[in-house]
Structures are given as structure tokens and as C-alpha cells.
Amino acid sequence: MISLSIRHARLATMEGAQAAPGDGPLALIEDGGVAVDGERIAFAGPDHELAEKIARGELRRDRGALEIDAAGALVTPGFVDPHTHLLFAGDRSAEFAQRLSGATYSEIAQTGGGIISTVQSTRAASDEHLVEGARQRLARLTRGGVTTVEVKSGYGASIEQELRLLRLIRQAGQGASCDVVPTLLGLHTVPPEMDRHAWVKVVSTELTTEAAQQGLAHGCDAFCDKGAFTTDECRTALEAGVRAGLAAHLHADQLTNTAGAALAAVIGCSSADHLERTGAAGVEAMARAGTTAVLLPLAAWFLRDSKPAQAAPFLAAGVPVALGSNLNPGSQRMEGSSLLLAAGCLFSGLSPAQALWACTVGASRALHMDAPPRPDHPRPPHRSPPQLRLTVRERRQNDCTTEHTESTESFLVPGSCASARS
């Protein structure tokens, strides 16, 4: 039964190849229609075919079904943000000024700032404070058209605290108008009170299985870099995650090329993220393994990195490229889909259509959202297919990086259908 239909839309089916020129990645249907049956997209195609199916009774409308005349507006899948650290407490705004004065991310971390300072503030914060902060950030992302957000733990740095943060991520997602996909980021920093080898062992042998068995995490992640964790340490932790049924991700080659991308490929990670310093061998390994590249151009900008990761080598090798906000308390505080799309074009060299593909199809591949759940693994549920977003824009306007938030009416499906905003 159709609960919602959208008629006469400029429909971005996203079935084109990401590397295609022009609007190719969007595979646009100029006069398109979409029919939604509860949480399932029952039809997406030419509007006249939708009309015929309805007339023949092949698609039946629910009593009270909503029909929207999009009048040529662009309809795209909902945006997916595949890389955030948005549950945290504390204030690291002073680091921004420090960086402007020339301090690097690593130098700030070595002097007690960076991730470890957020660990201290987050451990000390109440559950309510953490959940409320995360909810507000999720609400702001949702207003920009994001319908699914990945959220990493990683500021707990002990078994109890990491499991607590995963529970709070789930809590923050309840009642949010987007789906939340929780990721255990066990190897983010070495706990101040623990030896690094002991922590790697705890993450690999206890924390990961516990998080998976309790159904608290959809994915697992590790920070592989000079000054963070080695490839061997990350491999041990992520292989434990894969054995436990989690989708693996890796913070790879952000500050130095430690062959993180190649490691992600060997492990079978669904994504390798950052990749500012990945070389040709890493790109090729990812292409062979089918690992998605998650580029985080806002973080590179915020950190004043003169070499943001470029999309071209990945696209040329057939690696799907996704864009993530990397929203976090220290190295990237900016929010907004327009900004991310623009950064993907300006800093990473994507075309507007490739950036739109990256924020929808690419990002959902990075999260491995199409993987069937394993019967032995109580993975947190997420809605599928991605929610729809109807963007009201000038029919001829073709610059997907401008003003879509401000001029958008979002119709989120399912949930509170046709919640229009302007």
C-alpha cells in the first residue's frame, strides 16, 4: 500500500557511475515519480510509469496517502554522514587559536590537548549532558538534509566508559529524526591510566566482543597513524571486530602514510577514512578489496592541512568515494551539508554531482548499510532504504552546493511524513 507518492520530480536515482562526467552520477529522470510503501520505496522511475501502475492497480494507494507534486524539484536520497565523533563533552576551542599560531594536531596532543582532553571531560560529564549535546548536533545535521549519521565512541577509553558511550549514542538516536549508526572506536587513544599493550589487548579480547554481543555497535574503528596506533595493533583490534560481525572502518594515513589504506583492504574494511597521505599502492589495494574511501575535507581544512585527500586517484581506480563531516570537538567543528558538499568539490576535486553521490550512495556503502544482519549478531537496527529528501530548487539550477539547505522543504520518509520546513 502506498503511503506517500511524489510526482513530477527531477529524480536523482544515483544509478550512474560516480566517475561519470557532468550529471552522469545522478542518473536523472527529468519527470520522475516515487512511491513509498511504509518504510520501503516501492517505485522510483518515470512519472508516467508510476501513473500507469496506479491506474492498473499494481500499486494501490493507502487511504489517507499523501501525494506531493514536486513541480520539477530535485528529489535525492537522504544524506548519510558516515564519520562523526559527535557525542562528547568539553571545550577545545582554544586549539583552533593554537593551530592558527602554528601548532600542529600532533603537538597539541603531546601537550595534553587533543583527544585525551576530551576523554577527561567526557568521562566527567553526566549522561544527560552527553545525550543532550549529541541530540542537538543530530538535530542540526538533520536540518541540513542528513537522514543517517554514524557516531563513534572513542572518548571513553575504558571498557565501562566505551560501553557507556555506545549506550548513550543509542539513546541520543532514539527520538532523533535521523537514523544513528553506532561505531566502537576502541583504539582512539591510549587511556592515561593504562599501558598501550594492555589496552590493545582489552579492546581486542573483551571490549569488542562485549559491544557486539550487547548489540551496541554496528561497526568498529581504529586510529592508525604515527602517534596513534600501529598497523599491527589496529589489525588485531579490527579483526576481532570482523569476527564479531561488525563492519570495520579505519582512520588511515591522515598524518603520515603508515600503509593504513592497504591494511584496511587486507582486513576487508567497508571504509578507510581520511586518506590524506595514501599512495598508489593503498588506492589499488582498496580497489581490489572493494573498500570505500571516506574523504574528510573539512577536517583537512580545519587542521590547515595543505594536502587534503584528492578524489581523482580513487575514482580512477574504481574506488567509491564518500564524504564525511568528521564532526568532533577538536579537529573539525563545522556543521552543514552545503559546506561538506562544497568542501568535497573545492578541496577534494569532486564535481557537484560526484559530491552528491558521495554524500548518499558512497556514504551508505562506507557504512555497509546494505549488509544483511547475521542471525548470531544483534546488530542495532537501521532503516533501509535511506530516507527521501525532497529539495525545492529552481528546475534549471544545477549547482548542488548552494543554498539547498535554506531553500529546502524536507519530506522525511518514514516517520513524520511531509514535515515541511522552509
Shorter beta-carbon distance to ligand NIG: residue 331 or 354: 331
With binding defined as CB under 6 A, does residue 271 bind ligand NIG? no
Gap between the Cα atoms of 41 and 229, Å rounded: 42
Q: Is 153 one of the binding residues for ligand NIG (CB under 6 A)?
A: no
The beta strand positions in 324-397, using DSSP E, are 388-391
Distances, alpha carbon 69 to alpha carbons 145, 160, 189, 297, 390, in Å: 19, 51, 51, 36, 11
- The strand pair at 79-81 and 146-152 is best described as parallel
Between strands 28-37 and 40-46, the pairing is: antiparallel
Q: Kindly state the smallest distance separating residue 22's Cβ from ligand NIG, in Å.
A: 32
Q: How many residues bind ligand NIG (CB under 6 A)?
A: 13
Residue 330 in the binding site for ligand NIG (CB under 6 A):
yes
Instruction: Pick out residues in 198-257 that bind ligand NIG (CB under 6 A).
Output: 223, 251, 254
If binding is defined by CB under 6 A, does position 113 make contact with ligand NIG? Answer: no
Contact 166, 159 (CB under 8 A): no
Q: Nearer Cβ to ligand NIG, position 32 or 241? A: 241
Query: How far is residue 213's CA from residue 161's CA, in Å, rounded to a whole number?
Result: 17
Query: Which residues within the stretch 50-109 sit at the binding site for ligand NIG (CB under 6 A)?
Result: 85
Which contacts of 282-286 are long-range, i.e. CB under 8 A and separated by 24 or more positions?
282/252, 282/253, 282/257, 283/313, 283/314, 283/317, 283/319, 284/317, 285/261, 286/261, 286/262, 286/314, 286/317, 286/319
C-alpha cell of 27? 542518473
Q: Does 299 bind ligand NIG (CB under 6 A)?
A: yes
Q: List the alpha helices (DSSP H) in 293-421.
A: 297-302, 311-317, 337-346, 352-357, 363-366
Angle between helices 260-267 and 231-243 (to 10 degrees): 20
In the complex with ligand NIG, the residue whose CB is nearer, 18 or 118, is: 118
| Residue placing its CB nearer to ligand NIG in the complex, 115 or 388 | 115
By the rule CB under 6 A, 115 interacts with ligand NIG: yes
Q: Which stretch binds ligand NIG (CB under 6 A): 13-21, 52-60, 304-312, 325-333?
A: 325-333
- All three cell numbers of 148, joined, read 543517517
Residue 275: CB minimum distance to ligand NIG, A:
11
x/- string (CB under 6 A) for ligand NIG, residues 374-413? ----------------------------------------
The nearest distance, CB 358 to ligand NIG, in angstroms, is: 17
- Span of 13-21, 52-60, 329-337, 373-381 interacting with ligand NIG by CB under 6 A: 329-337
Residues 20-39 that bind ligand NIG (CB under 6 A): none
Rg (CA), the chain: 21
**Should residue 329 be labelled a site residue for ligand NIG when binding is judged by CB under 6 A?**
yes
Stretch that binds ligand NIG, among 39-47, 58-66, 74-82, 327-335 (CB under 6 A): 327-335
DSSP collapsed to 3 states, 106-167: HHHHHCCCCHHHHHHHHHHCCHHHHHHHHHHHHHHHHHCCEEEEEEECCCCCCHHHHHHHHH
DSSP 14-51: --S-TT-STTGGG-EEEEEEEEEETTEEEEEEEHHHHH
d(CA 155, CA 118): 6
Which stretch in 128-136, 204-212, 232-240, 326-334 sits in contact with ligand NIG by CB under 6 A? 326-334
Q: What are phi and psi of 77, to 5 degrees?
A: -60, 160
Residue nearest ligand NIG (C-beta atom)? 330
Type of residue at 256 = T
CB 330, min distance to ligand NIG, A: 3
- From residue 155 to residue 194, what is the string marking binding to ligand NIG with x (rule CB under 6 A)? ----------------------------------------
Chosen residue from 18, 326, 391, 410 binding ligand NIG by CB under 6 A:
326
What is the closest distance, in whole angstroms, from the C-beta atom of residue 393 to ligand NIG in the complex? 32
Determine, following the binding rule CB under 6 A, whether residue 328 of this chain makes contact with ligand NIG: yes
Sole window of 36-44, 62-70, 113-121, 315-323 interacting with ligand NIG (rule: CB under 6 A)? 113-121
CA distance 273 to 292: 8
Binding site for ligand NIG (CB under 6 A): 85, 114-115, 118, 223, 251, 254, 299, 326, 328-331
